[in-house]
Structure 1
Amino acid sequence: MNIRAPSPADGQQLILLFGMPRSGTTWLGKLFDSHPHVLYCHEPDHRRVFADSGAADAADRYRLELQTFVAGLPALQSLRVAGKRPLFRKKFMSEFGFQVARLSTEVARAGSRVYPAFPIVVHHDGSGDPERRVVWKSIQSLSSLAPTLTALEKARGIHILRHPCGYIASTLRGVDLKTFSDNSSIGWMAYKSARNAAGTPLGDRFGFGDDHEQMVRDLTPEERLAWHWVLTNEKARMEVGDNTRYLRVRYEDICRDPQAGVQKMFEFAGLEMSDQTQAFIAASTGSSQNDYYSVYKNPSQAAWRWREELDDQTVARVMAIATRSTLGAEYANMTPPEGRPS
């Protein structure tokens, strides 16, 4: 009898791997992708914003929209979603099938230079694997994690948290490299977070009301990013509450002990450690590449690089904001591993 993988439409065997940009989400995503039973979807919600309303009729529409979206995840053939390097062989692929899929991915990569939407023609969706887990990695949907878990009643959500200074230093490095942003969009992110929080329990807690625009306008770029970090992460934490299908992990803890960190996440996801994952942990932490988006980095150096990039006054201003929140307070006394700058 041929037993097929369940559809992820209601969240069955679906893992949400959500975090803010520049929080280690790509590395953690590829750690999951290295598992032979995981079908990994890299930021399929890029440039797509789901509704986030508490009204009953809107919640029903939101549920249907999400269920339709995740049901289609395994079939996505875009290079951005299904072709993120490195590629890993899966239990639902033969060696020949893997090589053909890899070749098809490289053809799509070359073709995308002419036609950006060039698809991966040979794509394995893992539908014949009853142990398949679909992983949706996102830097777009963290603020909607709680309603997403509510709508997808069997999904499990992992919230990736990074030290606010690490997030800020990496974001500003991207600005300097002209990789993805600038100071005006930093301001826009903070204005949006403050506007969405105003008039809610979250905004009341941190003093964001009708004057939120003026409050943000008077801040430095680092302070704006600090508030964006607080409001985005605290929204997810507060709304999820004590949901047992929610796990919060700190990037720095996984960098400190990748083996234990991956084991914890895999157990939550119902996965066992695999030899392929063990090999990728060793490869990704044992060498470094200079590319801004590389997953091959010394984890301790990557996690604590911000101490060499932000001066003491900036760190103090950032932490004065961050530690007003429950999540920021967790970082107040975190120390770098031995051998890193203190």
Structure 2
Amino acid sequence: MPDHILIFGMPRSGTTWIGKIFDSSPDTFYLHEPDSVRPDNTLPLLLDSSSTQLHERIEGWLQVRDEKVIGSRPYFRKSYRSPMQQRIFELSAYLAKAAKSVSRRVSLTPLSRGTQPAATVWKSIESVGRLPAILDALPVSRAIHIVRHPCGQAASKLRGSATGRFDDSASIWNDTALFEKLIAQSGTTTWDIQDILAITPTERLAVRWGLMND
């Protein structure tokens, strides 16, 4: 088994479902979006395998133990935890979630004890455009790049925003700075920011899908 299994894809593409399938193995340690919980806005969103910018940051992401990162439900029994350690982990994770629901200023870390797991599973919706560089930095690893059809991915994003399901303070398709970054980092000459501003939200999401997955 590889040391690291990477489950990367765009938001609303089924990454959580597939990530939890891997989490159901008793020999894996699951990290749910550590690079979203501890983002680094100084890093490009798109990086190829020649980049060395990620190496130090990756190590930090793999060490994140926030409640959202290691306490996502459902919980599965692990071979590297005793029954008592598993029970303590689950109770502390529920307590951390309850504390955060009372106040976002309260941050408790679930108690995760045990021996070394066989593999760490890293699920990400933030770093799909960095996947080549991350694979190069983690040579003993395997990756699953999840690609949902752009129509389904965009429709899910639009529906979720319309129903208030997401925490976004602003719609992603109105983030001009994001599109400027993606255009610059991709090196594309097909689009410029004026082209983006002239198209519909659905079309903007499709462009983002293409630039990130390419």
- Name the TM tier (shorter chain): 0.7 to 0.9
Q: Distance in 1 between matches of 2:208 and 2:11?
A: 11
Provide the residue aligned with 2:97 in structure 1.
Answer: 109
Deviation of the 1:106 alpha carbon: 1.2
Structural mapping, 1:117-136, within 5 Å: 117-124=106-113, 126-127=115-116, 129=117, 132-136=118-122
Q: How many residues align?
A: 207
* Structure holding more helix per residue: 1
Deviation of the 1:61 alpha carbon: 4.6
Q: 1:125 to 1:51 in 2, by over 3 A?
A: farther
Deviation of the 1:119 alpha carbon: 2.2
1:226 aligns with 2:206: yes
1:27 aligns with 2:17: yes
Ranked by relative contact order (alpha carbons within 8 Å, sequence separation 6 or more), the top structure is: 2
Could you say what secondary structure the match of 2:111 adopts? coil
Q: Distance in 2 between matches of 1:230 and 1:200?
A: 10
Q: 2:154 aligns with which of 156, 161, 168?
A: 168
Q: Distance in 2 between matches of 1:60 and 1:225?
A: 29
Moved more, 171-180 or 61-70: 61-70
Could you say what secondary structure the match of 2:96 adopts? helix
Please tell me whether Structure 1 or Structure 2 has the larger radius of gyration of its CA atoms. Answer: 1
Provide the residue aligned with 2:26 in structure 1.
Answer: 36
Q: Distance in 2 between matches of 1:40 and 1:59?
A: 26
Q: Distance in 2 between matches of 1:199 and 1:98?
A: 43
Q: Distance in 2 between matches of 1:188 and 1:17?
A: 26
Could you say what secondary structure the match of 1:45 adopts? helix
Provide the residue aligned with 1:51 in structure 2.
Answer: 43
Deviation of the 1:69 alpha carbon: 3.6
Q: For 1:233, give the aligned amino acid.
A: N
State, as a whole percentage, how many aligned pairs show the same letter. 36
For structure 2, the 5+ residue unaligned runs are none
Cα root mean square deviation, aligned: 2.6
Query: Following TM superposition, where does structure 1 have runs of at least 4 consecutive aligned residues deviating by more than 6 angstroms?
Result: none
Provide the residue aligned with 1:299 in structure 2.
Answer: none
Q: For 1:120, give the aligned amino acid.
A: T
Q: For 1:100, give the aligned amino acid.
A: I
Q: 1:68 to 1:85 in 2, by over 3 A?
A: closer
Deviation of the 1:59 alpha carbon: 4.0
Q: Distance in 1 between matches of 2:185 and 2:32?
A: 34
Mapped contact 1:175–1:183 kept (Cα < 8 A):
no
Q: 1:185 to 1:118 in 2, by over 3 A?
A: same
Deviation of the 1:228 alpha carbon: 0.9
1:257-299 Cα distance to aligned partner (Å, 9 max, x none): xxxxxxxxxxxxxxxxxxxxxxxxxxxxxxxxxxxxxxxxxxx
1:145 aligns with 2:136: no
